[in-house]
Amino acid sequence: MFKIEPKIRPSLPAAFTLTAMIVVLISFSIIKLKSVPHIPILLSIFLLLAFGAVQKLSFKKMEEGMLEGAKSGMGAVFIFFLIGVLISSWMMSGTIPTMIYTAFSFVTPHFFYSIVFIVTAIIGLGIGSSLTTVATIGVAFIGVSGVVDASVAITAGAIVSGAFFGDKMSPLSDTTNLAASIVGVDLFTHIRNMGWTTIPAFLITLILFAFISPKVGQTQFPKVEAIKEALHEMDLIHWYAWLPLVLLFLLSIKKVSPIITLALSSIFGVLLSFLHSDRSLADVWGILFSGFTSKTGNADVDALLTRGGMDSMMFTISLVLLSLSLGGLLFSLGVIPRLFEAVEHRLKNAGSTVAAAAGSAIGINFIIGEQYLSILLTGEAFQRQFEKVGLAKKNLSRTLEDAGTVINPLVPWGVCGVFITNMLGVATVDYLPFAFFCLLSPILTILYGMTGWTLTKK
């Protein structure tokens, strides 16, 4: 994004006022009006165009800035399409259903909070969606918590922690792909680098939940058993369903391009699906575009498995293109560079730069309440500074996830926070102290930045 040269240099008060107006507009629309972010972002673009016109900047130059910003996201757009295809193919092959079935097999009342955390982490990793995980197995676990006399707030904290671990580390996750693509880092390089902060946060969280888990006797889990039975009856649980995941893992280890990796894993999944189904090629094409539709009659299973397809990624793709166009215009009008000049002199080393990037991602989450924008805007603003202090781009992408992706569920007025509260019936402020993974991730990334441990130089 810093390849876009500012066409004008606004005053600091003007840059601050414009930024504040955009933040207020987007925040009011998302928090008060419950709007999707697309419309306020579009209105923000119109606001900036009006400012540029007052400054006598030609529309052609402003248009060039928007197009340059949108162009920087085209690699991510193609990967998002492939993710939709991959999810559909893994549904048909039984890869995702088999992962969910296996995760449910671990459910036990002993160390209840730890089990909830692990199972939601596995499912989140498998489907790449924290909110889907919360809305399905998360809701089931809230019901189970009453049976085993466990705290609803702590159970919700375990659900949120596991779901966002899975979302953060899954190659199927849109936020994971967004964080990698916005700074130009290979997807699997980004995931591997996140392991330095994510795995310690996972292990500490697991120990904390084991320590506070209630002592209970043997208890039945009828809802979980019903889900397992429905999955089994779909004839999607097979040993060979693990093979597309193994292929994905091997290709990522070999550092094969994410596009090739996702494409080959998708093709393999489709081919395996013919071993247990007799779908026509037209049906397969339809599922790859529109997504897999589950019709078991079990609402929880259908919610878990009805997903995927290229079409399902259009919401994210349109948001990314609009946000990048807004970012391109902010740079073209010199707004972000002017604001950054005001604080740049304070960022003398890697530690202060990482802390500032993490603080910005957290701040955008709390001010605007939108995790995509926390990743996009922070990623755009801090690329040059990370280069200036000699840090590789993957340090920035890791920071974006550690302080951006996992913070939104902790914001009561954030998109994820509102959704989770509505789904689980637990107030955000009640589960917040127990969402250990989400709380630890930004702490660890700032600590690593201050010490320099695991930071990679250019």
- Concatenating the DSSP letter of every residue in 142-200 gives HHHHHHTT--HHHHHHHHHHHHHHHHHH-TT-HHHHHHHHHTT--HHHHHHHHHHHHHH
Reported pTM: 0.71
What's the pLDDT score for residue 430?
A: 92
Select the more confidently predicted residue: 217 or 194.
194
Q: How far is CA 361 from CA 276, 333, 370, in A?
A: 45, 22, 10
Residues 444, 197 contacting (CB under 8 angstroms): yes
Residues 6+ apart with CB under 8 A from 310: 81, 84, 85, 288, 289
Q: Is the pLDDT of residue 2 over 50?
A: no
Output 263 or 418, whichever has higher pLDDT: 263
Q: What is the rounded CA–CA span in Å between residue 124 and residue 196? A: 19
Decide if pLDDT at 416 tops 60.
yes
- What are the backbone angles phi and psi of residue 292, rounded to the nearest 5°? -85, 135
Give me the amino acid identity at 234.
M
Residue 409 DSSP code: G
Averaged pLDDT of the chain = 85
Residue 391, pLDDT above cutoff 60: yes
Lowest average pLDDT, out of 3-17, 53-67, 442-456, goes to: 3-17
Q: Which two three-digit tokens encode residue 120?
A: 């939601």
Count of Cβ atoms closer than 10 Å to residue 58 Cβ: 11
Predicted local confidence at residue 444, as pLDDT: 95
- For range 189-198, the mean pLDDT: 93
> Encoding tokens for residue 291?
């997504």
The stretch 321-326 carries a mean pLDDT of 82
| Most confidently modeled range among 143-147, 258-262, 333-337, 357-361 | 357-361
Residue listed under structure tokens 């603080």: 359
Residue 220 pLDDT more than 60? no
Looking at residue 360, its pLDDT comes to 87
3-state SS, one letter per residue, for 74-85: HHHHHHHHHHHH
Q: Phi and psi for 307 in degrees, rounded to 5? A: -170, 175
Q: How confident is the model at residue 35 (pLDDT cuts 50, 70, 90)?
A: confident
Q: Are 140 and 223 in contact (CB under 8 A)?
A: yes
Dihedral over Cα of 358, 364, 369, 372: its sign: negative
Q: How far apart are CA 138 and CA 140, in angstroms?
A: 5
How far apart CA 246 and CA 77 sit, in angstroms, is 25
Mean pLDDT of 201-207: 96
For CA atoms 276, 279, 284, 286, give the dihedral sign.
negative
Distance of alpha carbon 397 from alpha carbon 189, whole angstroms: 10
Q: What average pLDDT does the segment 390-400 reach?
A: 92
Give me the mean pLDDT over the 283-302 stretch: 87
Amino acid occupying residue 227: I
- Report which of residues 74 and 187 the model is more confident about: 187
Question: Is the pLDDT score of 1 beyond 50?
Answer: no
**In this model, does residue 347 exceed pLDDT 90?**
no
The closest of 361, 346, 354 to 445, measured between CA atoms, is 354
Domain spans of the chain, in order of start? 12-69+314-416
Sign of dihedral through CA atoms 301, 302, 308, 313?
negative
Q: What is the dihedral of CA 52, 56, 60, 64, to 10 degrees?
A: -40
Instruction: Compute the residue count for the chain.
Output: 458
> What mean pLDDT comes out for the span 191-216?
90
Tell me, what's the pLDDT at 403? Answer: 93
Residues in Cβ contact with 269 at an 8 Å cutoff, skipping those fewer than 6 apart? 86, 89, 90, 92, 93, 95, 244
Joined together, the tokens standing for residue 197 give 């902060």
N- to C-terminal Cα distance for the chain?
A: 18
Closest CA to 300 of 97, 136, 101, 163: 136
In this predicted model, what pLDDT tens digit does every residue of 40-87 receive, in sequence order? 889 999 999 999 999 988 899 899 888 888 887 777 678 778 878 988
Contact 270, 92 (CB under 8 A): yes
Contact 169, 176 (CB under 8 A): yes
| Biggest alpha carbon–alpha carbon distance for the chain | 74
Contacts of 141 (CB under 8 A, 6+ apart): 116, 119, 120, 155, 158, 159
Looking at residues 358-383, what average pLDDT do you find?
A: 82
